[in-house]
Structure formats: structure tokens, C-alpha cells
Structure 1
Amino acid sequence: MRAEPESEAKGGGGTRPRTRVRAKVPLRRSLLVRLLATSVMIAVCSVAATAWLAARTTSSAIQQEQGQLLSSDTQIYDTLVGYAATHRDWTGVAPTLRRLAGRTGRRITLTTQSHRPLATSAASVATLPTRASAVVDPLHTDAALLPGTATDRIDPRAVGPYRLTAAERKSLHIMAEKILSCVGGPTGVGTLVEAPSGRTSIRFPDSVLGGSARDYGCGVDQLATPVRTEIGPLNRLNTLVNDCLEHQNQQALKVGIDFVVRTKTGAQASQTCLDTARRDQLTSYVAPAALLYVTTPAGSAAAPGFRFTSANTARLAGVAGLVLLVTVAVTVVVGTRLVRPLRALADAARRPVEEHQRVPVTTNDEIGYLAAAFNDLSQRRERVEGQRKAMVSDVAHELRTPLSTIRGWLEAVQDGIAISDQALVDSLLEEALLLQHIVDDLQDLAEADAGQLRVHPEPLRVRDLLDHVATAHQARADTATVSLTTRVDGDPELSGDPVRLRQVVGNLVSNALRHTPAGGSVTLRARRVGDQVTIEVADTGTGIPAEDLPRVFDRFWRAEKSRSRRTGGSGLGLAIVRRLTEAHGGTVTVTSTVDAGTVFTVRLPV
């Protein structure tokens, strides 16, 4: 099917009719056919799998039993390796063997390397096979029975002298929680992991810089610093490793508490020396290697068998046909119900953009969510379109006034009606500066909308920031006979762009002076509250009605509906205040009482 997109010819005042996409029937047919084919394929595969499983019942049962035996052998081996890693000998292992035998139904026997019995799960030691099931040695684990073991084959539960005290565990855990919270732990950036030695570390997901995280001044590297218990054993380990490397004429290295070799020169020799040194250091803390014998007690039942007969074959064929019939019927019914709302969505999407079409939400499933999302998208598109039209109108209005003034005076000079004196030049310059101010404000907002508004943070004192703004606006306050004062609690500091923050506070002060009558006051206050610095600009002006407060930060909005230059600026100052504050990670709010005053509050993170 070839779909012809909607087109519209412009020019000459005429338009060609829109061509709709002819996709109704193909959409329905495609969805139904795909759903039906998928269901039939699933049904056929299910029937074939059922027949195959029924024919192979005996072999499956045997394989399952073998899998259970392998699983129980792995469980037994892992438990005994863990016991050997945490005990110096096999003296008390008998109760552990009996518990394992009770859970797995196997007979378990441990002997020394010289085949001397150490312990058994039975009442007496029976005749053992000629070959042991495995060698239980925490310093040389079997990778086939423990697939997740490390490449050095040393069981991680064998910690020896590196086991931390309770106080050290608690201290490291508290430190890790603080670091995780600093780098964003509550949002799911990392998780705390406690090693068998009691050392707590932070594990980051692979999506975060390959499983690691940038420090951001949170002290992530502090978790890798050895504590008091680990310092002595770690120094002895480094001595053993470097003695080994010295005999091989290799460069010395320093091993950290994670036992990882980070040198590229002689990496193989360094890893071999490290593994040997660790085994030498842990030998006295783990049980000696032992031979493990796992056998099945006498009298175990054989796996059941199954034989296909003609009656079973006919019964299986009948059930298969019934399953196939039910699958087709259900697929047709469900597919029809699925297609109906999708067709409504497709029709609404093909309507002209200007109509902002909505679709009814009739279900509470994924299709209902899709319909609700489509309606929300249409509503937002309609709202954005309205905002775009309003903004274009506002921009045109703001630019028309100064341009009309400049043009009028220039035409008057050209016609000889007005004289080009200094006063006229000053007036035209003022209008040109107003135009430049509006264009600069629009550029700042455009950069903020595009995510290109750059800030250059540096340490600064809030007191100096407020004093600088107050000094810059003092002359204007004196002219308006308005009292302009600053009050700072303590000496708060923060990291921010001084130029941008002066612009934020300056816009708020300029706005306050403009709406404060003679004899009033404008006060700049600042204080630190927790991990934030709060800056307030309070005035005793005319105030803002409650119904207008939600719109004060909108672009080109003014409470003065006449849009007079005497009572208002370009209408962009507060919008810029909000975007610059958000660029610093802060917020700005406003409270006001009519005929009493207004307070703008800027909260910035320290």
C-alpha cells in the first residue's frame, strides 16, 4: 500500500484539498492477521511441545533427577566450602553434614587427603567410591561447582585476619550511607553491599559510568581506605607479594584492600604472587583441604516411565484440535476489540492539526492509556499554540511602541516639523536602549528554553551581592524617595554566577521600586536555612491581587492592563528571574497583600 501524505499548496489564495492516508482496512487487517498468526503459532508450538514432552517423559524424569542431584551436590559443596572458610578445622562439622543429608537425601562423608575419615552423615562410614566427588578447599575452589567464583579461586568467605570488629563495621556502614546519600543514593544510583569481612561498599549499576560513580566531593574513595584491623594484615600481604616479585625481578607494587592488581607491567606475575601470598596468609585461618564423597543411599526408587498407546494418541490429538479452535476464536474476538479503539486513534491523528481532536477513553488498559496520552498531547499542543500566538502578539506590541516613537520623531525631523537637538537625540537613544533591553531579555529567555543558558558558579558572599545591588539602585530609590536597605543574618556563602545573581536580585529590586509609592521602603534580606540560602526582596508597595499571583512570572504579563511604561517594564524581568534561579538549582516564589506590599523569595542551594 502506498500512503499519500496530506499536502497543502500555498499561494494565489487557493489550497488543494487534503489527501487522507488510506490505511483503515490495511491497519485492521494487519493487526488481526498478525495477532491471529501469532496465536496459531503459539497454539501449534504448545501442542507440539506437549506431545514431545509426553513422549519423552521417562528421559525428562531421569534428567530432572540428575539435575536435582547436581543441584544438591552444588549446595553441599558450597555449604562445606563456607564452613571450611570460617573454621580452622573440621572438628564440629558433623551436625552440618547431618542437616545437609536431611535436606538432600544424600550420604555425605569427609576424609583427609590420605583417606582418613573426618566425619559422616550416617551412623558409620560405609564403603566409599574409589574417586572423591570433590575436594573441599576454600583456597582452591572448584569453578564447575561454584560458577560464580573469582578467578583466583579463593572463596570470598575466607577472610582470616581481615574480619572487622563490630565497631568498625558500624563505622564503615554509616560512612557508606552518607556517601551514597551524597551521590544520589535515594534516587537509586547505588546500593550498599557488605562483604563477608564486614566491610561495606557501594555498588553502582552498569549504566552509571560503567559501574562506578564520579566522586563529586562525596568521598567515595574513603571506603577503600583500610581500617585498623586491616592495616597489619595488609602490610604483611604486601611484604609477601613484593618478596615474591623481587625473586622474579619484577617491579614492586602496593595491593589495596580490594586485592586487585592495577599494574600493566608484569600483570600475570603480579597476580600469581598475590594469589600465592593470600593463600599463605589465609592457610592458618581455614580448615585443611578434605575429600568429599556424596553417594546415594541404597534402596532409592527408579524414575517412573510412560508409554504412548493408541488411545493416548487419539486423546492428545483431540485436545490439540480443541485448543487450536479455542485459540482462533478468542483471537478473533480479542483482536476485534483491540482494533476498534486503535482505529479511532488513527482517525483522530489524521485530522487537521487545527481541530485538536480528542478520542474517548473507554478502557483502563494500555490502549486506554494511549488514548489518554493522545488527549493530553492534543490539549498541550492546543495550549502551546495559544501561548505561541499570545507571545507573538506580545512581542509585536512591545517592539511596536518604541519603533513607532523613533519613526515618528525621525519623520517629524525629516519634514522639518521637529528640530534635531540634543533632547530629541536623548529621547531616541532612550527608545533604542529600550528596544535593546527587550531584545536582550528575549535572547536570555530563548537560551534558557534551548538549554543553552550558561552560568559560571564561583564562591561568593551573599552580603556583598546584596550591597552591590543596593548601591546600583540607590540613586533611583533616592529619586523616588523610597528607603532601600539590606539586612543579612550572619555571613552566608553560596556557589553561583555573580553576574546572573546580581541580575536576579536587580530585577526584583527594580520591580519593587517601580511599584512602591513615595515614602515607602524596599528591604533586601538574606539568611541561611539548612542547606539553602534565602534571599527576600520585600516592599511596601501597591501589592498584587491574589488572582494575579500565579501569572506574575509569565512572559509579557503585567498587572497594569494598560501596559504603560510608567508602571511597568517589558514584562520579561520576572520571567528571567525564574529561569536564572532555576539555572542555579533554586526556586523563586511570591507572596503579596494588596495595599500592603509584596515579598519575592529566592531560595538557592548552598
Structure 2
Amino acid sequence: MSAEVFATVAGIALGCALVVGALALLTLRLLSRWSLVMQVVVIAFATIASVVSGTSAVASLMYLSAHDLNVFYSVAVVAGIVSLVMASVLGRSLARDNQYFRAAAASIGRGESVTSPDRHTSTEFASLAGELAATADRLAESRKREERIEASRREIVAWISHDLRTPLAGIRAMAEALEDGMAPDPERYYVQIRGQVDRLSGMVDDLFELSKIHAGALQLNLERVALYDLISDTIADLAPVALAKSLDLRFEGERGLTLQADARELARAVGNLVMNAIQHSPAGSAIVVSVTPHVDGRAVISVVDAAGGIPERDLGRVFEAGWRASEPRTTSAWGTGAGQSGGAGLGLAIVEGIVRAHAGQVTVTNVENGCRFELLLPQHPLG
């Protein structure tokens, strides 16, 4: 075939294809609200029409015999019918996938799980279906977590209201007795009022600390901290409280471990754990605070008590704000910091927030007759 003939044939074919393509695009625009099956059929028909029209135009210029043209048209008709049938089948498959994705999106919106069908038109659709199912699962878990958080917030409000009402009622009663001159021992009333005010102040401090943690506003003043000194000071502060309950509060483990930490916040976290152990431990039992190096280089601060352990079903909720232990650890609330009795279930949530701010991890496990809380802290939290 000469270059001139090739150019002529190519030009005719291109012209026919452009005309048919333009008509197909116009048809697709008019059928934009029709089904996906119809649009796929239009595309298949346009492809066939483009080939047939171009071939017919070229054949007419080449003066092919009528017999040859009839043979070509017969082949084109048969091939076109088969192509349209295949396009219809493909279109129905695509429409089925489209219905599945619409139903899946609606299910995700309702918070329901998404089940992936056995077959899809293509690997890409199968991958998308799998991702939708995974997204639905993640959203469902997120909704459950939000519901638990919202429930814990409501519990916090209820418990704070209750825990504030008790000392406030006591302060009011003692103030009225002092005002009316009915207090048999005014000096004792003054001491009790001061103790109740200290209790209220501790609860407010806990709420403020937890609000900073949740808002991401907890600022650490990092310095080199000797863990033995920090824990020794904490034990010394709480020793009178432990002694009053006949508890053996002691330190064990390494004495030379140091790390970069906020001494005040870390002391608060350890104090919360120790005070909670004191509140729940039976008289005559031991509370052991230890420091050991972890194999990965982190320092481990552990508090082990003999307070009866925590039910397995509650272990995953221990560090939720507002959570309070169920039996057997129900003698008082898991809440306030050192030196406070009762609370709104904020203490362990504060511990977790402080440890996370140090890029560490806090865990709890049941041991024989009690619990083991561990703080795993890196040497350099900001490294």
C-alpha cells in the first residue's frame, strides 16, 4: 500500500470514527440519567459503528464487489450482536457492583457492618469492597469508643456531683453549727472544715489535670530524674497513710536508674497508683514499688498490691476516665491523688495521660491476690 493510499484510508477511518464518536458522546449526554447498562451498550455500539462505517466508506472507494460487501456486513452484524450482548452482560455486572456500593455506603451511614460479596467485576472493585468493609468495621469501633467515652463523661458528672455534695454538705453543717454557737469543739470543726476543703481542692486539681491531658495542653518540664529519689519521696509522703492501715509499703529494685522526665508529673502518677493500692489493700498486706530496667532500654516502675485483683472484663476499662472498680475492689473509688479519699474515677486516667505525655506506656495485670501496674518510660521521651 502506497503512502497516498494509506493516508486516504486513515483519513476516511478517522473521519468516520470522529463522527460516530461525537454522536455517541451526545447520546451518552442525553442518557446520563439512564442505567449504566445502557451507557455501556452505547459505547460498544459506537465502537462497532465506527469500524463498520469506516470500512464501508473505504470499501466503496475501492469498488469491492457487492458479494464481498455483503460478506463483510454479515460478519460485522454477527460480531456486533455478540459485542452488544457482552457489553450488556458487563453493564449488568457493573450495575450490580454499583448497587452493592450504594447499599454498603448506606450501611456505613447507619452504623451497620458491611459484608463483601463473593464476586466482583474486577480486582479493583473487589479491593474497594474490602476497604469499605474494613472502613465500616473501623467506624463501628470508633462509634463504640465514642459511646464509652460519652458514658464515662456522664458518669464523671454524676459522680463528681455526688462526691462534691458530701463535703459541701459537711462544710455547710459545720459552718452553721459554728455560726449558731452550737459546736461543742470549735477547734475540731475548723480542722474538719479544712480537711474537707483540701479534699475538694484535690478533686478540682484532678479535673483540671485531666482536662489539660485531654486537650493536649499538658506541658512537661523535662529534667534528669533519679527514679529512686522520686519514689522514695513518694513512699515517705504516703507512709503515714499506709501505716494507719497496717500496710507494708516498701521499695525494691534498681537504685541507679535515671531518665528525662517531668519530676512533678511523674511523682503524681506514681502517687496515684500507690494511693489507690493503699485504699484497696487489706490490713497487714504489702505494697511493693519497684524500678527495673526493661530489655529494650526503658525503665519500668511497677506497683504491686494484694487488693484482690480486677475482674478480667474490667481490665480493658481501668484507664477510662470515670471508671470505678467493681468487686472485689469496691472499698473506695479509684480516683483521687495522694492523700485524698474517694474521688470520681480520675486517678488512673491521669496516670495514663501523664505516661503517654512521656511517650511511655502503662499496663495492668492481675497477679496472685492482687494487681501489678507498670509504667514503661523511655530514657528520652522527646528523642
Structure 2 length as normaliser, TM-score? 0.65
Aligned-partner SS, 1:481: coil
Could you report, residue by residue, the CA deviation over 1:472-530 in whole angstroms, capped at 9, with x for unpaired residues? 22332333333332234262222222222112211111122222333333222112233
Identity across matched positions, percent? 28
Task: Establish whether residue 553 from structure 1 lines up as the match of residue 326 from structure 2.
Answer: no
CA distance in 1, matches of 2:33, 2:208: 49
**How far 1:586 sits from its partner (Å)?**
1.9
CA distance in 2, matches of 1:418, 1:461: 52
**How far 1:384 sits from its partner (Å)?**
2.3
Q: Corresponding residue for 2:161?
A: 399
CA distance in 2, matches of 1:590, 1:409: 37
1:109-128 residue pairs with structure 2 within 5 A?
none
Q: Corresponding residue for 1:367?
A: 129
- 1:515–1:567: 8 Å Cα contact kept in structure 2? no
Aligned-partner SS, 2:217: coil
CA distance in 2, matches of 1:408, 1:489: 45
Q: Which amino acid in 2 is paired with 1:339?
A: N
Q: Which amino acid in 2 is paired with 1:438?
A: M
- 1:477–1:484: 8 Å Cα contact kept in structure 2? yes
CA distance in 1, matches of 2:233, 2:76: 91
**How far 1:357 sits from its partner (Å)?**
4.7
Q: Cα distance 1:405–1:445, how it changes in 2: closer, same or farther (>3 A)?
A: closer
- 2:303–2:372: 8 Å Cα contact kept in structure 1? yes
Could you report, residue by residue, the CA deviation over 1:299-321 in whole angstroms, capped at 9, with x for unpaired residues? xxxxxxxxx99669947955873
Q: Cα distance 1:409–1:514, how it changes in 2: closer, same or farther (>3 A)?
A: closer
1:3-402 residue pairs with structure 2 within 5 A?
33=35, 37=39, 41=43, 314=72, 321-322=80-81, 325-326=84-85, 328-345=87-104, 347-348=106-107, 356-357=111-112, 361-363=116-118, 365=126, 366-367=128-129, 369-371=131-133, 373-374=135-136, 376-378=138-140, 380-402=142-164
Q: Corresponding residue for 1:493?
A: 258
Aligned-partner SS, 2:377: strand
Task: Establish whether residue 590 from structure 1 lines up as the match of residue 364 from structure 2.
Answer: yes
**How far 1:412 sits from its partner (Å)?**
7.3
Aligned-partner SS, 1:453: coil
Q: Corresponding residue for 1:483?
A: 248
Q: Cα distance 1:347–1:423, how it changes in 2: closer, same or farther (>3 A)?
A: same
Aligned-partner SS, 2:288: strand
Match of 1:525 among 272, 275, 290: 290
Runs of 5+ in structure 2 lacking a partner? Answer: 1-30, 55-61, 120-125, 334-339
CA distance in 2, matches of 1:418, 1:51: 113
Could you report, residue by residue, the CA deviation over 1:385-432 in whole angstroms, capped at 9, with x for unpaired residues? 244134313322233232244146526755977857454454444444
Runs of 5+ in structure 1 lacking a partner? Answer: 1-28, 53-307
Aligned-partner SS, 1:393: helix
Q: Which amino acid in 2 is paired with 1:381?
A: R
Q: Cα distance 1:605–1:350, how it changes in 2: closer, same or farther (>3 A)?
A: closer
CA distance in 1, matches of 2:357, 2:100: 42
Q: Which amino acid in 1 is paired with 2:363?
A: T
Task: Establish whether residue 574 from structure 1 lines up as the match of residue 348 from structure 2.
Answer: yes
**How far 1:379 sits from its partner (Å)?**
5.2
Q: Corresponding residue for 2:374?
A: 601
Whose helix fraction is larger, Structure 1's or Structure 2's?
Answer: 2
CA distance in 2, matches of 1:411, 1:477: 30
Q: Corresponding residue for 1:537?
A: 303
**How far 1:349 sits from its partner (Å)?**
5.9
- 1:590–1:599: 8 Å Cα contact kept in structure 2? yes
CA distance in 2, matches of 1:503, 1:390: 22
Q: Corresponding residue for 1:509?
A: 274
CA distance in 2, matches of 1:534, 1:50: 79
**How far 1:329 sits from its partner (Å)?**
0.4
- 1:36–1:331: 8 Å Cα contact kept in structure 2? no
Q: Cα distance 1:401–1:579, how it changes in 2: closer, same or farther (>3 A)?
A: closer
- 1:589–1:601: 8 Å Cα contact kept in structure 2? yes
Could you report, residue by residue, the CA deviation over 1:167-204 in whole angstroms, capped at 9, with x for unpaired residues? xxxxxxxxxxxxxxxxxxxxxxxxxxxxxxxxxxxxxx
- 1:359–1:371: 8 Å Cα contact kept in structure 2? yes
Q: Corresponding residue for 1:143?
A: none
- 1:482–1:522: 8 Å Cα contact kept in structure 2? yes
Q: Corresponding residue for 1:469?
A: 234
CA distance in 1, matches of 2:240, 2:52: 91
Aligned-partner SS, 1:518: coil
Q: Which amino acid in 1 is paired with 2:323?
A: W
Q: Corresponding residue for 1:291?
A: none
- 1:361–1:372: 8 Å Cα contact kept in structure 2? no
Q: Cα distance 1:589–1:408, how it changes in 2: closer, same or farther (>3 A)?
A: closer
CA distance in 2, matches of 1:437, 1:309: 103
Q: Which amino acid in 1 is paired with 2:245?
A: A
- 2:364–2:373: 8 Å Cα contact kept in structure 1? yes
Q: Corresponding residue for 1:4?
A: none
Q: Cα distance 1:517–1:328, how it changes in 2: closer, same or farther (>3 A)?
A: same
**How far 1:41 sits from its partner (Å)?**
5.0
Structure 1 length as normaliser, TM-score? 0.44
Q: Cα distance 1:468–1:417, how it changes in 2: closer, same or farther (>3 A)?
A: same
CA distance in 2, matches of 1:50, 1:580: 76
Q: Cα distance 1:429–1:36, how it changes in 2: closer, same or farther (>3 A)?
A: farther
- 1:39–1:331: 8 Å Cα contact kept in structure 2? no
Q: Which amino acid in 1 is paired with 2:315?
A: L
- 1:543–1:593: 8 Å Cα contact kept in structure 2? yes
Tell me the matched-pair count: 318
Q: Cα distance 1:361–1:490, how it changes in 2: closer, same or farther (>3 A)?
A: same
- 2:304–2:371: 8 Å Cα contact kept in structure 1? yes
